[in-house]
A and B are shown apart, each in its own frame.
Chain A
Amino acid sequence: MLTGSAVQTDYGPVQVRITVNGGKITQAEALQQPSGGRSTQISGTAIPQLNQNAVAAGSADIDAVSGATYTSGGYKESLQSALDQAGG
């Protein structure tokens, strides 16, 4: 189980934990998410989607992720970083 660092967003802190089994992401859940007003409405749909997609990525059995270039800071929040840590 890997817990990401909390990230400050415009809507409040977000922190995600992923569970890795046999080198695959089997579960992703939000430990911290913004609450109150519009941000609840936004995160209410965004967070389950992130969960579903991260799980889909895990079951896709991938070795690397291609996407628009991330910064060194952005890497820490990336799926590639999760794959590197999982070592699978």
Chain B
Amino acid sequence: MADPGTDPAGIPLSQLRHAEEAMGTVFSFDIRGGEPTAVKAALEEAVAGLHTVDEVFSTYREDSQISRLDRGEVTIEECDPEVAEVLELCAEAERLSEGWFSATYEGRFDPTGLVKGWATERAALRLVEAGAVGVSVNGGGDVQLCGVPGPDRPWRVGVADPLRPGGLAAVVTAAGADRLAVATSGTAERGAHIVDPRTGKSAVTDLVSVTAVGPHLTWADCWATAAFAMGSREGLAWLESLPDTEALLITAGDEVRCTGGLASRLG
């Protein structure tokens, strides 16, 4: 049987859409192709997975594993294996961002800034494993794309213009990439506590938004948050130094700055 994503007859792929409220936001799924029963079952698993992540990692819930771990009531070994995984990812993100991404807030362990992107990427990969040809999962404004939406076009993501509500600052295309993530941090950001590691106080930034583009949403989301805190000059230079990462930065003065390779992703 021909791969439906590259069907020369150009037959559109089947489509399954779903919006799920979790983690204080909404996750939008757009799934193309695959065997319908398998894809539907995987969507149910992915959605259940988001709620499990919320229960395990919520810093708002006194009985979550993260809250109990923070109070010393349980050890990492007694938690779900995902807790150790997220702790390691947070440590890596802190190291690579020289502390600009931080999972410590007011003395407490708070992985909120990493968990949503990680959970969104994981949900998308679950659907790919189940045989979907194209997957787009938008976790409250941070998007993981896999495969293609149809035989004749790539996934396309609008980047919201923070200074013109309802408008777009750019359109990013996933053409040629099997995995692409688009993550945006901005002044309206929820859940990310943006702190200057040199002062320990709220970061002073000249930016209103940073959009990071790369293969993995887990990292793109962390890098957008870190660069936002750094400000336009240091943030842009740091983003340029990261492999497989492009970015679009918008300043409060409505100036748009991009990494050198972003142009190949715009369209």
Contact = CB atoms under 8 A, between A and B. Distances in A.
Q: Which of A64, A66, A68, A71 has the most CB of B within 10 A?
A: A66
A69 B141 contact: yes
B138 A56 contact: no
A9 to B, nearest CB: 11
A53 B67 CA distance: 43
Contacts of A68: 141, 160, 162, 184-189, 209
A65 B26 contact: no
B161 A66 contact: no
Nearest to A54: B166
B217 to A, nearest CB: 10
B191 A69 contact: yes
Contacts of B145: 64
Interface of B: 15, 17, 19, 21, 24-26, 28, 30, 116, 136, 138, 140-143, 145, 149, 153, 155-162, 164-168, 171-172, 182-192, 209, 211
B161 A71 contact: no
Nearest to B153: A61
A69 B116 contact: yes
B164 A64 contact: no
A72 B25 contact: yes
B contact patch SS: strand
A64 B30 contact: yes
A82 B160 CA distance: 14
B24 A65 contact: no
A67 interface: yes
A70 B141 contact: yes
A84 B26 CA distance: 11
Contacts of A66: 138, 141-143, 157-160, 172, 182-184, 211
Interface in A60-87: 60-72, 75, 79-81, 83-84, 87
A80 B92 CA distance: 31
Nearest to B173: A62
A62 B167 CA distance: 12
Given A68-B185, A69-B189, A79-B160, A60 B167 contact: no
15 contacts: A49-B167, A53-B164, A57-B167, A62-B157, A64-B28, A64-B155, A66-B138, A66-B143, A66-B211, A67-B159, A67-B162, A68-B184, A69-B25, A72-B21, A84-B28
